Amino acid sequence: MITVKNLSHHFEMGKKGQKTILPVLHDINFSVEAGEVVAIIGRSGSGKSTLLNLISGFIRPVSGQIIINHTEVSTFTEAQFADFRLDQLGFIFQNFQLIPSMTAYQNVELPLILKGMPEKDRQALTKQTLARVGLGQFHNHYPSELSGGQQQRVSIARALVLNPPLILADEPTGSLDSETEASLLDFIKQLNQELGITFLIITHDKEVAKIGNRTIELQDGKLIEGGQLS
């Protein structure tokens, strides 16, 4: 599902003339098979988010290749990557990233609108997906009127609604209490088993990482342990 080859990244900081280079990822190689749940673990600042942002196309790698679902994405233009994200990727963020002026229903419907789906088809699909995450009663609630766990479910519904083969999650439980965390992890497991969706989950928490069939550890920008080591 995902193949990362010789991926390196650094950030350039400071003004022109006195630039400093902050290396973040060094020659990363790994792959994720379809149907897997893979956890990337590492200390804060080890480069986990950077790795996921590269795979998501939010930033572009300095060098290396990223192949998702047999498609080389590292050479995409911004517009191509946007279309690819809409089609192939679902996202779960630490702080949910729901649009505050839209109801739960509207937030989940948004990807369908972007896809250009007609209103009739959207309705059924949105309702069905909200029901699936257990929020059938909360269509007209705004994010501010929902608990953290409920908001994260809305964001999962939004990630699911176009039925992507792969969902990327950056610290999905980072803003949740431990009880909510557990039920969310169960739910992810369930989605993986029932729908066969591949998950790549980032966490700094060893407990959370247990959800993975496999764990990859990042330390100072290098893969040091996990499935395929470089």
Please report, as ranges, the residues that interact with other proteins according to CB under 8 A.
53, 56, 58-59, 78-79, 82-87, 89, 91, 93, 97-99, 101, 110-111, 113-116, 118, 158-159
DSSP string, 153-208: HHHHHHHHTT--SEEEEESTTTTS-HHHHHHHHHHHHHHHHHH--EEEEEES-HHH
Q: How far is the CB of 46 from ligand ADP (least distance, A)?
A: 4
Residue 194: which residues within 8 A CB-CB, separation 6 or more? Answer: none
Contacting Mg ion (CB under 5 A), which of 46, 49, 74, 129? 49
Residues 12-71 that bind ligand ADP (CB under 6 A): 13, 22, 24, 42, 44-50
47 binds, among ligand ADP, Mg ion, other proteins, none (CB under 5 to 8 A by kind): ligand ADP
Question: Three-state secondary structure along 84-101?
Answer: HHHHHEEEECCCCCCCCC
30 binds, among ligand ADP, Mg ion, other proteins, none (CB under 5 to 8 A by kind): none
Measured at the CA of 115, the angle between CA 113 and CA 116, to 5 degrees, comes to 65
110 binds, among ligand ADP, Mg ion, other proteins, none (CB under 5 to 8 A by kind): other proteins
| Piece of the chain touching Mg ion by CB under 5 A; list 44-52, 73-81, 128-136, 212-220 | 44-52
45 binds, among Mg ion, ligand ADP, other proteins, none (CB under 5 to 8 A by kind): ligand ADP
For residues 8 and 149, give the distance between their C-alpha atoms in angstroms, rounded to a whole number. Answer: 35
Asked if 9 is part of the footprint of ligand ADP (rule: CB under 6 A), the reply reads: no
Nearer to ligand ADP, 48 or 85 (CB): 48
- DSSP β-ladder status, 198-203 and 2-13: unpaired
For 99, half-sphere exposure in the C-beta direction (CA atoms, 13 angstrom radius) is 11
Asked if 215 is part of the footprint of ligand ADP (rule: CB under 6 A), the reply reads: no
